[in-house]
């Protein structure tokens, strides 16, 4: 009786491991491979003459970052663009620095919010003001701490536009620094980027990153901007994309010239706060997106749990070991190619270790959001 029960349990656990593996292979080769083996060509603008562009930045107390990165924006090799900076109640001298900069640079447009008119947390209100102040149809969204990789950033992003294109999703990695924390941040960014860019390329966009994305001003206005989720501190990027993007109006760009690099969190607690803010929007995703992402992470856990269980059941250790090895080989192929495509050539080496870390870290961070206050933007 007991032997029959254990034998049945062994088959069930083996079936869970096998089916979880199969599902992940589908994710790897049917979804993620779209970015891992993406044919990324140097930008050749399809529109002639080149369209005018408005770069929009919302900043609060970002004096040093603006001082460092504004020259990189104005050094862009592009004939017609402006930079709109919304100075949101800064008290670090940003207003004086920006005003002086605008005297020397006519392409800089300033919007100063001197008292808190932002009744909602986050940067959606100041960003909306900046977008409405922009004079051009094509908008490029980025942050004060973001530095374009080259002077072809605008060119590379705008080149993706076609007649029916209304949104272009780019990739925004973090700067490479020494230490384990930086490795985890960069792997997490790679993993998230691999997912949202792959789904967008497959015709199912669900998010982007405000560090590097572009859309038409008319798209923003006709969908009433962020009004449907103003009360949520985050989501100026992912919730807006989920609302307005579709397979017909959205394209991706991953060429190295299209990237912007951001400053990573300097300590673990700051990173956790950032992760809490980002994960807080997940509950507002559509049921379809929740299912796709949830199935991926659930089968990730069920695969490891089932393989671990098989080592304690009456089955030769070769079976779970072979399953683990086969999945790892496929995983490293996909993540290795993705690392190369997205400019993180060595980060794939920590894939199996980082995956196990985030398998527990992300649920813990998401769980703390249930019992903690919302994380403020600034």
User: In CATH terms, is domain 53-179+203-265 a member of 3.90.550.10?
Assistant: yes
pLDDT, position 195: 98
pLDDT, position 368: 86
pLDDT, position 119: 59
Confidence of residue 374 (pLDDT cuts 50, 70, 90): low
> What dihedral do alpha carbons 360, 361, 365, 366 form, nearest 10°?
-50
Lowest mean pLDDT, pick from 48-57, 90-99, 185-194, 241-250: 48-57
Select the more confidently predicted residue: 252 or 89: 252
Average of per-residue pLDDT across 5-12: 90
**Of 257, 256, 248, 244, which is closest to residue 215 (Cα–Cα)?**
244
Confidence of residue 46 (pLDDT cuts 50, 70, 90): very low
pLDDT, position 50: 81
pLDDT, position 148: 98
Average of per-residue pLDDT across 326-346: 96
* Whether pTM exceeds 0.85: yes
Confidence of residue 188 (pLDDT cuts 50, 70, 90): very high
pLDDT, position 257: 97
pLDDT, tens only, 14-27: 999 999 999 999 99
Angle at which helices 268-279 and 351-371 cross, to 10°: 70
pLDDT, tens only, 224-260: 888 777 667 676 788 899 999 999 999 999 999 999 9
Average of per-residue pLDDT across 76-89: 96
**What residues are paired with 111 via a beta bridge?**
86
pLDDT, position 43: 54
Average predicted confidence (pLDDT) for the chain: 92
Confidence of residue 378 (pLDDT cuts 50, 70, 90): low
Query: 52 Cβ partners below 8 Å, 6+ apart?
Result: 80, 81, 82, 135, 136, 137, 138
Average of per-residue pLDDT across 195-205: 98
Average of per-residue pLDDT across 271-278: 90
Owner of token pair 């649920």: 363
Angle among Cα 60, 361, 336 to the nearest 5 degrees reads 90
The two structure tokens encoding residue 72: 């990189």
Q: Can you give the chain as a three-state secondary structure string?
A: CHHHHHHHHHHHHHHHHHHHHHHHHHHHHHHHHHHHCCCCCCCCCCCCCCCCEEEEEEECCCHHHHHHHHHHHHCCCCCCEEEEEEEECCCCCHHHHHHHHHHHCCCEEEEEECCCCCCCCCCHHHHHHHHHHCCCCEEEECCCCCEECCCCHHHHHHCCCCCCCCEEECCCCECCCCCHHHHHHHHHHHHHHHHHHHHHHCCCCCCCCCCCEEEEHHHHHHCCCCHHHCCCCCCCCHHHHHHHCCCCCEEECCCHHHCEEECCCCCHHHHHHHHHHHHCCHHHCCHHHHHHHHHHHHHHHHHHHHHHHHCCCCCCCHHHHHHHHHHHHHHHHHHHHHHHHCCCCCHHHHHHHHHHHHHHHHHHHHHHHHHCCCCCCC
Backbone φ and ψ for 137, nearest 5 degrees, come out as: -75, -40
Task: Determine the Cα–Cα distance for residues 244 and 87; give it in Å rounded to an integer.
Answer: 27
The two structure tokens encoding residue 135: 């004079």
pLDDT, tens only, 221-233: 999 888 777 667 6
Backbone conformation region of residue 371, classed left if phi is above 0, alpha if psi is from -120 to 50, else beta: alpha
Residues 287/170, Cβ–Cβ less than 8 Å:
no
pLDDT for 48 beyond 70:
no
pLDDT, tens only, 99-153: 999 999 999 999 998 776 555 667 888 999 999 999 999 999 999 999 999 999 9
pLDDT for 75 beyond 50:
yes
pLDDT for 49 beyond 90:
no
pLDDT, position 230: 67
């Amino acid at each position: 009786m007991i032997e029959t029960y254990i034998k049945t349990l062994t088959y069930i656990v083996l079936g869970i491991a096998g089916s979880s593996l199969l599902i992940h292979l589908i994710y790897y080769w049917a979804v993620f491979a779209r970015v891992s083996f993406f044919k990324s060509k140097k930008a050749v603008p399809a529109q002639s003459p080149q369209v005018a562009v408005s770069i929009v930045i919302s900043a609060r107390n970002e004096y040093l970052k603006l001082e460092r990165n504004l020259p990189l924006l104005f050094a862009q090799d592009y004939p017609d663009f402006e930079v709109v900076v919304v100075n949101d109640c800064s008290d670090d001298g940003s207003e004086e620095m920006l005003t002086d900069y605008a005297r020397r640079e006519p392409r800089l447009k300033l919007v100063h919010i001197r008292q808190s008119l932002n009744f909602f947390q986050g940067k959606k209100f100041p960003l909306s003001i900046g977008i409405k102040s922009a004079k051009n149809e094509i908008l490029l969204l980025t942050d004060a701490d973001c530095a374009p990789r080259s002077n072809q950033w605008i060119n590379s992003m705008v080149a993706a536009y076609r007649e029916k294109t209304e949104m272009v999703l780019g990739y925004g990695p973090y700067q490479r620094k020494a230490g384990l924390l930086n490795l985890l941040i960069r792997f997490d960014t790679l993993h998230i980027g691999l997912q949202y860019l792959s789904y967008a390329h497959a015709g199912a966009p669900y998010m982007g990153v405000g560090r590097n994305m572009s859309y038409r001003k008319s798209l923003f206005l006709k969908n009433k901007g962020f009004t449907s989720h103003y009360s949520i501190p985050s989501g100026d990027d992912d919730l807006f994309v989920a609302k307005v993007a579709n397979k017909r109006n959205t394209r991706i760009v991953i060429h190295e010239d299209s990237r912007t690099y951001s400053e990573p969190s300097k300590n673990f607690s700051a990173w956790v706060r950032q992760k809490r803010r980002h994960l807080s929007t997940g509950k507002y995703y559509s049921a379809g997106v929740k299912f796709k992402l949830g199935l991926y992470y659930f089968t990730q856990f069920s695969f490891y749990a089932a393989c671990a269980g098989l080592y304690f059941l009456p089955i030769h250790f070769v079976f779970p070991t072979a399953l683990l090895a086969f999945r790892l080989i496929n995983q490293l192929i996909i993540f290795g190619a993705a690392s190369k495509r997205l400019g993180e050539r060595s980060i794939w080496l920590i894939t199996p270790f980082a995956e196990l870390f985030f398998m527990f870290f992300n649920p813990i961070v998401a769980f703390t959001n249930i019992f903690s206050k919302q994380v403020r933007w600034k």
